[in-house]
Amino acid sequence: MIEVVALDGDDTLWHNELQFSMTQARFCELVAPYAPDADLDDKLLSTERMNLTTYGYGVKSFTLSMVETAIEVSQGHVPVSVIEQILDAGKAMLSHPVELLDGVVEAVDALRDRYALLVITKGDLFHQESKLARSGLAERFHRVHIVSEKDEATYQRIIQGEGVPPERFLMAGNSLRSDVLPVAALGAHAVHVPFHTTWIVEHVEPEEAAQYEFSTISSLWELPSLIEQLDS
Amino acid sequence: MIEVVALDGDDTLWHNELQFSMTQARFCELVAPYAPDADLDDKLLSTERMNLTTYGYGVKSFTLSMVETAIEVSQGHVPVSVIEQILDAGKAMLSHPVELLDGVVEAVDALRDRYALLVITKGDLFHQESKLARSGLAERFHRVHIVSEKDEATYQRIIQGEGVPPERFLMAGNSLRSDVLPVAALGAHAVHVPFHTTWIVEHVEPEEAAQYEFSTISSLWELPSLIEQLDS
C-alpha cells in the first residue's frame, strides 16, 4: 500500500524549461552580433556545466552564466547594454507568472486526501518557495522539500523522515535523472511523466533507464488511477 | 528544561560578513573610476534592497546586484572587463574556505550530546549546504534547516516540527533581526552572540530590541554554561 506520494515541481507541476529556452533564445539574439561564429547554445551550456559546482541550479546561476558567456564569446566586445538586458531577462524569469501544467490541480486534489502528499523540488530555495506560493497549491501539500540535488541520498533521507519503507513511497516527475532513476534504485515506486523538453544536463541514455523499473504516464492526471492499479 | 538548541550559521558558526565587506571594497575600487561622484556603498545597498524580493539573500544575488549597480552608476560606461572581475569576485566568495569562529567547535561538542542540536541558517541553499559540508561540523548536528527568511512563522514551524513547547527551545545567533527577536516573540529562549559587523539590512534599533527578553553572550563557547544557568 502506497502511503506517501511525492511530486516534482519544475515541468511536473508548473512550466519551467520553456522559460529557460525562451530566455536562451533571447540571449543568442542579443549576443550573436558580437560573436558571429560562436555556437552560443553550446558555449552557454559549457559555462553552465562548469559553474554547476560553484553556483548550483536555478535562474540566478543561469543569469550569471549568461553574462559570463556573453563576455567570453565576444572577447570582451559585448556592450554593457547587452549585459543589462541579460540581467533584465533573468529578472523577468524570476517574476514570471507560475503556469500550472494541465491536469495538475485535478491530480493534486485527488491525491491529497488519500496520501501524505509532498513536493520534492530542486534548485534555488527562494525561487522555488516563491513559485510554490504563487502556484496556489502550497496549502494542498503536507510537506515541501526544496533540495540542492536529487540523488539517492536525498530520497533516502526524505523516505526515512516519512517513517515508511521504500515500497510505500512513490515519486512522480518529468526528469529520469532526478525524479525517477534514484527513486527506483531505492526500491520505491517511480513514475515518469515526460515533458516535451528536457534540459540536456538531465538527459539519460535509454540503455541506462532500461535497467530500472518504473511506470510512465503522459499527464499527472493519470497518477491517481495508476496508484490504484499499483496498489491492487 | 531546554531540549532543543539551534544555532545560526553565518557569523555565528563561520565568518561571512567579512567576505561581503572585502568584496564590496573591491567592487568600489573597480567601479569608482567610472562613477567618481557616486556613493557606491549606498548605491549598492539600494540595489540589493530593491532586488531582495526578486533574488533573495546570498552571494549570487549580491553578485548580480554588483553588476547591475556598476552599469547603473557608470551610466553604461563601466567596461565589460570590470563586469568580468565582479563575476570573479563573486565566485571567489562562493569557493572561499569556511573559517569557523573562535569557540565554535568547543561549543558544538559540549552541546551535541545533551541537546537536539540544529542549524538554522538563511540564504542560498546550495551555498549554505556547501559551507556546512566544508565546515566539518555537519555530522555533529541532528538536523539542518536552510530557510529563505527567519521570521516568527519559520521558527514556529521548526519548533512544532521538533515537537516541543517554545520554552524548551533555544536559538543563538548574531542577528537580532533574524536570530533573536522572532524567537523571543514566540516565548522561546533567544541568545544574542553579537558579531562586530552586521549587515545594515539586519539592523535593529535599540528601542525595538529592548521590548524583547533575551540573553547576550560574547562568544558561542559561553553558550553551554548559559544554558545550564537558564535551566537551574
Which pLDDT score is estimated for A41? Answer: 97
With a CB cutoff of 8 Å and minimum separation 6, the contacts of A226 are A191, A215, A217
> pTM for the full model?
0.92
For residue B57, give the C-alpha cell: 539573500
Whether residue B97 contacts residue B91, with contact meaning beta carbons closer than 8 Å, is answered with no
Q: What is the mean pLDDT of residues B86-94?
A: 98
The closest CB to that of B80, out of A64, A80, A87, belongs to A80
Shortest CA gap B191–chain A (Å): 26
The pLDDT tens digits for A40-87 are: 999 999 999 999 999 999 999 999 999 999 999 999 999 999 999 999
Q: Could you tell me the residue ranges of all domains in chain A?
A: 4-15+100-231, 17-95
Chain A hits for B150, Cβ within 8 Å: none
Question: What CA–CA distance (Å, rounded) separates A58 from A6?
Answer: 21
The CATH classification number of B4-15+100-231 equals 3.40.50.1000
- What value of ipTM does the predicted structure carry? 0.91
Q: In what order do the strands lie in the sheet with A143-147?
A: A143-147, A116-122, A4-7, A169-173, A189-192, A215-216
The closest CB to that of B87, out of A64, A94, A95, belongs to A64
Q: What is the pLDDT along chain A (232 residues), one digit of tens a residue?
A: 999 999 999 999 999 999 999 999 999 999 999 999 999 999 999 999 999 999 999 999 999 999 999 999 999 999 999 999 999 999 999 999 999 999 999 999 999 999 999 999 998 999 999 999 999 999 999 999 999 999 999 999 999 999 999 999 999 999 999 999 999 999 999 999 999 877 878 888 889 999 999 999 999 999 999 999 999 8
Phi-psi region at A199: left, alpha or beta (left = phi > 0; alpha = psi -120 to 50): beta
CATH superfamily of A17-95: Putative phosphatase; domain 2 (1.10.150.240)
Question: What percent of chain B has a predicted confidence (pLDDT) above 70?
Answer: 100
Which pLDDT score is estimated for A149? Answer: 92
The closest CB to that of B54, out of A71, A91, A146, belongs to A91
User: How far is C-alpha B102 from the geometric centre of its chain's CA atoms?
Assistant: 16
Question: What CA–CA distance (Å, rounded) separates B58 from B126?
Answer: 10
The reply to whether B4-15+100-231 and B17-95 are identical in fold is no
Nearest CA in chain A to B57: A126
CB atoms B80 and A84 under 8 Å: no
Q: What is the mean pLDDT of residues B70-82?
A: 97
